[in-house]
Amino acid sequence: MNYQKVLEKIQAEVEPFRREGRQADYIPALARVNPDQFGICLRTLDGNTFTVGDADVAFSIQSISKVFSLAIAMHFEGEELWRRMGREPSGTAFNSLVQLEYEHGIPRNPLINAGALVTADILLEKMADPDDFYIRFLRTLSGNPSLNYNDEVAASEQSCGYMNAAIANLLKHYGNIRGDIDRVLSLYFRMCAVEMSCRDLAEAFVPFANHRAPFAYEGITLTTSQIKRMNAIMQTCGFYDEAGEFSYLVGLPGKSGVGGGIAAICPQRYAIAVWSPRLNAKGNSIMGMKALELFTTLTAESIF
Amino acid sequence: MNYQKVLEKIQAEVEPFRREGRQADYIPALARVNPDQFGICLRTLDGNTFTVGDADVAFSIQSISKVFSLAIAMHFEGEELWRRMGREPSGTAFNSLVQLEYEHGIPRNPLINAGALVTADILLEKMADPDDFYIRFLRTLSGNPSLNYNDEVAASEQSCGYMNAAIANLLKHYGNIRGDIDRVLSLYFRMCAVEMSCRDLAEAFVPFANHRAPFAYEGITLTTSQIKRMNAIMQTCGFYDEAGEFSYLVGLPGKSGVGGGIAAICPQRYAIAVWSPRLNAKGNSIMGMKALELFTTLTAESIF
Amino acid sequence: MNYQKVLEKIQAEVEPFRREGRQADYIPALARVNPDQFGICLRTLDGNTFTVGDADVAFSIQSISKVFSLAIAMHFEGEELWRRMGREPSGTAFNSLVQLEYEHGIPRNPLINAGALVTADILLEKMADPDDFYIRFLRTLSGNPSLNYNDEVAASEQSCGYMNAAIANLLKHYGNIRGDIDRVLSLYFRMCAVEMSCRDLAEAFVPFANHRAPFAYEGITLTTSQIKRMNAIMQTCGFYDEAGEFSYLVGLPGKSGVGGGIAAICPQRYAIAVWSPRLNAKGNSIMGMKALELFTTLTAESIF
Amino acid sequence: MNYQKVLEKIQAEVEPFRREGRQADYIPALARVNPDQFGICLRTLDGNTFTVGDADVAFSIQSISKVFSLAIAMHFEGEELWRRMGREPSGTAFNSLVQLEYEHGIPRNPLINAGALVTADILLEKMADPDDFYIRFLRTLSGNPSLNYNDEVAASEQSCGYMNAAIANLLKHYGNIRGDIDRVLSLYFRMCAVEMSCRDLAEAFVPFANHRAPFAYEGITLTTSQIKRMNAIMQTCGFYDEAGEFSYLVGLPGKSGVGGGIAAICPQRYAIAVWSPRLNAKGNSIMGMKALELFTTLTAESIF
């Protein structure tokens, strides 16, 4: 298949959506981003890379970070991880605190904020310097040694992150955060504040697509079964209350972030990252969702 | 791969679970079933069939019926269907009425009871005699002309089905059932009360696995894209509040029923049906779940 | 105090609100009522009666009926009643089915629909002909032998009462309705469909204000303590999710109905009934609420 | 009536309940209290005081403080207060965060923790030194110049008060806390940590019973109508999800605290305070509830 042509066709077809939606603007650093950018990077497992648009512009990965921290936590905890969180879809938007309170501090899954805060707590338990480790892990995964935290973003998020602080306090109330709340929040916000391009993300997601190869990066190892299970979690939980929608329209495991990025994989075939800052009402990139829907339609290469 | 050996290995490995859990016993006809039965039938897309155990014993398909009625409704309604229901996972067990009330009578997805009641209402709108049509559709899909409704089961279910009657009345309150409530309930309970064996179900699910072939049975036609989308819905919504669990452990689109059956598919590869009446706390067959988990582990053939 | 002057002053002061809000119109018989009516009747325990406006026009008492059926149920069940329902305020409007499902079929209190449906079920258990008894009980309480059911209203309500049917089915599912659902609904809707004037209601509420006198009507007897406790329930639960508001602004135990009536009492002092069909968003009479607020402000005679 | 005899009779009758329930022990200072204490103080509006048991032992007033801070906030805000909180009962225990999230940061009423945190924020807005003012206000109300904060208790509460911190962060997220979260929490916990005896509390509640007299203490003034309305709020919201129960069994406006105290009033008649540390499952003093139920039964002096 001529993937380059496919990407170019997609780029043309999503053009009419370029002005729809609004970018996240709850912190200055996100509000400053030019919203009219759009890029795709596709990495096939046979080693080819295809890009269109702003595929090399770095942006805030935000919740896509939850996939990377989950990989680290699975390495350390294995199936024990599920004593502290579930692996079921969260169902509805209004569930952030509601569900957590009903379910006594056990987050529904690791890809919602509550779950990622518990994951951050695990990293703090298991590592002397998780901040340092995490960025090294991402550099190795992506093959880009210049990746870094944007500490302006992290500080801004933390200064206005009252909802996440509420969640962290509730988790602590139920004993599901063991470390210091501020330390957990600080690590969480920093992990969200890494900046990566579509190219970086596609490269970093290749190991999750290539589950027959050994996963071993910076000492983090995952089995084939564990990688498949991470894919299953991305499939059912990766898009908040649009998980069903993404599964229906796109049909790939993936994870979106409020910075406008989406990374997805097709097992044994490819990893793909798209980016465009303008979001729909559910917080997912409008052009990104559209681009991925077109990609699996045009290539007929989804998991279904 | 020697699938027969795989099935036999599974049969041996699930044996220790034979006495775990309890069968559904809320109506006499289900309570009378010998709970210590277990069967598997695998149909590959190249036309081979493999079975072990009680693969030819017919049982009540119950909620697996929701897949068949959804196929009919998608044919008639296309994307209009989503005006009357969602396609997001329902999240939690306690949500049956709760969620429906919060969301003003729009069921979360077609594979929960509320969604299937709306689907039944659609069938009643579109067809002169949906009871007659539905069983003909299943006979053709399964290639078994002797399939039939068990009207003792249907009548028993309806006589004690107060929760479903509550849901139907709530849907009517919100205008999302247009026909007569009793008629909708009657069709719904009859569709659940069809009896099929693992062999029948595996055969009937082959068209959902074989999405490149035209789907055309008794005048019901679906496009490749529609079949893929049905798979996506089964993947995210097919197991009530164990959808994430099934995706994590098994990694196949599928649908379970309270009669102890589970039907699942691997796109372009196979359809598989398992059956054992004893259920876990979430209402899914214990040996059935275990068998499918082993199957995708041993064959390494899941969607992930 | 010159109560007649007080009522006339109130009548003048509420005049500007005469066109605010809309009457209930979900059934033809309620929609046909001239909405621009307003009446008050005050009965003091020393036997005087004061009226203004349309105090002798009969209207549909609707939920005010729940007080009368509760009195009958308390007579028969005593404290056993609380095994089948609670006596806590229901909190929020959206709780009708939600709360009932969370709390496994135990209605929050007897003055919400779910509670009154259980009360109707109790009447059916305890009496050979509760329909006949109930109207006799109201005739005796009000001293008006011509009171009757409006069966057009009852039939209309039942024909569109899907939400109440949903609640009744859910109660049956949890085993908290023992009789036939349709029979329970029929009695419930008939009890709501009695027509009474403000004068009838004020008279019928006098025994609930006069708790030192023996309560004995048509064989229904209540102790002083039971009457006080009924007042407590009216105080905390009589106005759905405006119970706090009514307590704050008016400060009397009472019960409202969607027909626009409100009956309230001041223990050892008086019973008062107001009526005006136009309702606020919570389903309570706008002029009625305003009139009662003025009454307790002008007389300084509330329970606080 | 011989109130002293009534109190002595109550003391005898509640004796069998002395060992039921457990005191609050989530912080050391509360866990250290001898749980087998019990006291009552009654203050009639004609100026007489009656006591039995440990009526002069000071204890942690905890949530009873919410009444005092509400009085201050009503003085400053008047009816504007209700832009930032409701005055409806909260319904259920599990609603703390759930309800707040559904209702977008508007606490259901001022007597639950969320409401009292907003009240604390108001005090911080309106006063230069609310910590100093609040204790002076209580000293004047109670006539006891030696009242003080127990800062060990306040510090302990704050160090483990993750649920309250979660609530405060959620309120801040919705913009309903304007000041610094830590400052709000600190004031809130200090106000809860004042120590008063039954005698102090009964005296301090007399002005809320005596609504015909001008309320003017340390510059805080309330009108007759405002005092009555505070009583209405105590009546419907003073006992969390036992408000209906307390209204049903006791029939007085009041407020309980987790330290085992309950203060209540009968308008124009008396204020009464009871204390015993052992709590029921809802967090209210077992002997205290029982004693007040007996008091209104024996004296027949409730609001109903």
pLDDT digits (tens, 9 = 90+) for A205-222: 999 999 989 899 999 999
Cross-chain residue pair D248–C229, CB shorter than 8 Å = yes
Burial of D83: CB neighbours in 10 Å, binned 0-12, 13-18, 19+: exposed
Q: Convert the pLDDT of each residue in C187-202 to its tens digit.
A: 999 999 999 999 999 9
**Chain D, 163-182: which have a CB under 8 Å from a chain A CB?**
163, 165-167, 169-170, 172-173, 181
Counting residues of chain C whose pLDDT is more than 90, the rounded percentage is 91
> Would you mind telling me the total number of residues written for chain D in this entry?
304
The mean per-residue pLDDT over the stretch C205-210 comes to 97
The verdict on residue A304 lying in a domain is: no
What residue in B sits closest to A242 (Cα-Cα)?
Answer: B88
Would you call A63 a catalytic residue per the annotation? yes
Interchain CB contact of A232 with B (< 8 Å): yes
* Lookup: tokens for B120: 């039944």
* Contacting residues of B for C182, CB less than 8 Å apart: none
Strands of the sheet with C261-266, listed across from one edge: C49-53, C39-44, C270-275, C261-266, C254-256
pLDDT at position C280 is 94
Strands C215-217 and B49-53: unpaired
Alpha carbon B186 to chain centroid, angstroms: 18
Q: Convert the pLDDT of each residue in D4-31 to its tens digit.
A: 999 999 999 999 999 999 999 999 999 9
Nearest of C49, C230, C224, C277 to residue C143 by alpha carbon? C49
Lowest mean pLDDT among A80-89, C238-247, D114-123, D134-143: C238-247
Query: How far is the alpha carbon of B234 from chain A, nearest alpha carbon, in Å?
Result: 10
* Lookup: tokens for B117: 């009641």
Distance, CA of B304 to CA of B296 (rounded, Å): 10
Distance, CA of C82 to CA of A243 (rounded, Å): 44
Interchain CB contact of A235 with B (< 8 Å): yes
Residue B6 and residue B279 in contact, taking contact as beta carbons nearer than 8 Å: no
Residue A89 and residue B236 in contact, taking contact as beta carbons nearer than 8 Å: yes
Output the CA–CA distances (angstroms, integers) from residue C280 to B10, B162, C245, C260, C286, in the order listed. 64, 34, 13, 10, 6
Within D78-192, residue ranges assigned H as helices are: 95-102, 113-126, 130-142, 151-160, 162-173, 181-192
The verdict on residue D304 lying in a domain is: no
Query: How far is the alpha carbon of D118 from chain A, nearest alpha carbon, in Å?
Result: 15
pLDDT at position B25 is 92
For CA atoms B245, B246, B252, B258, give the dihedral sign: negative
Alpha carbon D71 to chain centroid, angstroms: 11
Provide the domain count of chain D: 1
* Contacting residues of C for D242, CB less than 8 Å apart: 88
Nearest of C119, C108, D162 to residue A175 by alpha carbon? D162
Q: Convert the pLDDT of each residue in B145-160 to its tens digit.
A: 999 999 999 999 999 9
Interchain CB contact of C304 with B (< 8 Å): no
Q: How confident is the model at residue A94 (pLDDT cuts 50, 70, 90)?
A: very low
Residue D124 and residue D187 in contact, taking contact as beta carbons nearer than 8 Å: yes
Query: How far is the alpha carbon of B116 from chain A, nearest alpha carbon, in Å?
Result: 17
pLDDT at position D128 is 96
Distance, CA of A153 to CA of A161 (rounded, Å): 12
pLDDT at position C255 is 97
pLDDT at position C94 is 43
* Contacting residues of A for D166, CB less than 8 Å apart: 97, 165-167, 169-170, 173
The verdict on residue D273 lying in a domain is: yes
Q: Which residues form the domain of B65?
A: 3-299
State the distance between the two ends of chain B, measured CA to CA, in whole angstroms. Answer: 19
Q: Convert the pLDDT of each residue in A109-143 to its tens digit.
A: 999 999 999 999 999 999 999 999 999 999 999 99
We report the CATH number of the domain holding residue A25 as 3.40.710.10
Q: Which one of A92, A95, A98 would you mutate to disrupt binding with D, by most D Cβ within 10 Å of its Cβ? A: A98
Cross-chain residue pair C102–B98, CB shorter than 8 Å = yes
Counting residues of chain A whose pLDDT is more than 90, the rounded percentage is 91
Q: Which residues of chain D have pLDDT under 50?
A: 94-95
What residue in B sits closest to A235 (Cα-Cα)?
Answer: B236
Q: Which residues of chain B have pLDDT under 50?
A: 94-95
Nearest of B31, B104, B71 to residue B228 by alpha carbon? B71
DSSP D78: G
State the distance between the two ends of chain D, measured CA to CA, in whole angstroms. Answer: 19
Q: Which residues pair with B265 in a beta bridge?
A: B271
Nearest of C111, C106, C101 to residue C74 by alpha carbon? C111
Helix, strand counts (H, E) of chain C? 13, 10
* Lookup: tokens for D239: 């006992």
pLDDT at position D106 is 94
Catalytic hit among C66, C172, C255, C290: C66
pLDDT at position A277 is 98
* Lookup: tokens for A113: 């904020």
The verdict on residue B304 lying in a domain is: no
Would you call C188 a catalytic residue per the annotation? yes
Q: How confident is the model at residue C241 (pLDDT cuts 50, 70, 90)?
A: confident
Interchain CB contact of C241 with D (< 8 Å): yes
ipTM above 0.90, yes or no: yes
- SS3 category, D60: strand
* Lookup: tokens for C232: 């407590």
* Lookup: tokens for C229: 């406790």
Cross-chain residue pair D97–A96, CB shorter than 8 Å = no
Nearest of A145, A142, A132, A108 to residue A191 by alpha carbon? A132
Query: How far is the alpha carbon of A23 from chain D, nearest alpha carbon, in Å?
Result: 20
Interchain CB contact of A211 with D (< 8 Å): no
Nearest of C134, C133, C121 to residue C67 by alpha carbon? C134
pLDDT at position A90 is 82
pLDDT at position B92 is 62
Nearest of A18, A17, A13 to residue A35 by alpha carbon? A18
The mean per-residue pLDDT over the stretch A38-50 comes to 97
pLDDT at position D102 is 76
The verdict on residue C219 lying in a domain is: yes
DSSP C84: T
Q: Convert the pLDDT of each residue in B250-292 to its tens digit.
A: 999 999 999 999 999 999 999 999 999 999 999 999 999 999 9
Cross-chain residue pair A108–B91, CB shorter than 8 Å = yes
* Lookup: tokens for D68: 């005092």
pLDDT at position C93 is 55
* Contacting residues of B for C179, CB less than 8 Å apart: none
Query: How far is the alpha carbon of D95 from chain A, nearest alpha carbon, in Å?
Result: 9
Beta-carbon count within 10 A of C93 CB: 12
pLDDT at position A113 is 94
**Chain D, 40-79: which have a CB under 8 Å from a chain A CB?**
none
Catalytic hit among C6, C60, C63, C118: C63
The verdict on residue B88 lying in a domain is: yes
Task: Show Cβ contacts of residue D190 under 8 Å, excluding neighbours closer than 6 positions.
Answer: D131, D134, D149, D151, D154
Query: How far is the alpha carbon of B80 from chain C, nearest alpha carbon, in Å?
Result: 25
Interchain CB contact of D82 with C (< 8 Å): no
Interchain CB contact of B141 with C (< 8 Å): no
The verdict on residue C304 lying in a domain is: no
